[in-house]
Amino acid sequence: MRQIIIGNWKMNGSRALVDEMAREVYARAASLPCDLVLCPPATLIAPLAQALPGIAIGGQDCHERVSGAHTGDIAAGMLREAGASHVILGHSERRADHGESDAKVRAKVGAARAAGLTPIVCVGEDEAARQAGRADAVVLGQLAASLPEDFTAGVVGLVAYEPIWAIGSGRIPSEADIAAMHGAIRAALRARFGAAGGAIAILYGGSVKPANAAAVLALPEVGGALVGGASLVPGDFLAIAGAAMAPALGRTPVAG
């Protein structure tokens, strides 16, 4: 499986950044050992899709309904029409800022799948849970309640493990802790979805930078990275993508 490096621009970016990405990232994308997905604010999906044809683009959220009286929200079909193939769902910033529950995230995953988008479902513990030894319980609980039963039918979604305390902080878990959590997530996915659960890419996110990317991406069960701040700097994003593990010879690359 090719690793997947996803850039989450959050509420950042501009037409100028789209142009910069087109100039600096686009030409090098084909030679990277991984697949790329760029997730800009919704207003930049169409320009980015136009400027970087062939690069996967994702939204950062969608509503669970296909349309209706939901001022300020965006439907999965609208993201798709704008040029997106993916959507981040259940990011901890959405869970915190907009009170999104696991049930809400699960409904959004269903809407995304129905529109043909690949959902990127985020889970992660806060610092108090980690310190109390409850990280596994929190993450596996979110995972169980945020994924619908049909998560592996047709469009196979992705899971991103993002410890909240590592986001934007410059701190990341030890390699052993990342490997242990990814192993626990893999075991839960297999237990629930059988062999199909083995094919779900599990990405790590939280302060992934050029300096730590190679070590993180070499860990077992790490299928790629979800990158925030460093995805806004073309050189840093390319350096992280360049650190991805090339797929083993003879294995079929699986696009995200």
Q: Which residues are catalytic?
A: 91, 162
User: At closest approach, how far in Å is the CB of 194 from ligand 13P?
Assistant: 28
Decide whether 112 or 193 has the Cβ nearer to ligand 13P. 112
State the DSSP code for 75: B
Q: Does 8 bind ligand 13P (CB under 6 A)?
A: yes
Q: Which listed range, 18-26, 189-197, 226-234, 239-247, lies at the site for ligand 13P (CB under 6 A)?
A: 226-234
- Evaluated on CA atoms 255, 154, 251, 248, the torsion sign reads positive
Q: Residues, the chain, total?
A: 256
CA dist 58 and 36 (Å) reads: 10
Instruction: For residue 124, state whether it binds ligand 13P (rule: CB under 6 A).
Output: no
- The 10 Å Cβ neighbour count of residue 220 is 10
Does 172 participate in binding ligand 13P (rule CB under 6 A)?
A: no
Residues 76-115 that bind ligand 13P (CB under 6 A): 91
Task: Between 138 and 227, name the residue whose CB sits nearer to ligand 13P.
Answer: 227
Distance, in Å, from the CA atom of 46 to the CA atom of 119, rounded to the nearest integer, reads 19
Report, in Å, the least distance between residue 226 CB and ligand 13P.
5
Virtual torsion, Cα 65, 60, 99, 171, nearest 10 deg: 160
- By beta-carbon proximity to ligand 13P, the closer residue of 193 and 204 is 204
**Residue at token pair 């390319």:** 238
* Contact flag: residue 173 with ligand 13P (CB under 6 A): no
CA–CA dist 36, 162 (Å, integer): 18
Per CB under 6 A, does 226 bind ligand 13P? Answer: yes
Q: Rounded CA gap, 170 and 214, in Å?
A: 16
Out of 61, 64, 102, 162, the only residue in the binding site for ligand 13P (CB under 6 A) is 162
List residues near ligand 13P by CB under 6 A.
8, 91, 162, 167-168, 205-208, 226-230
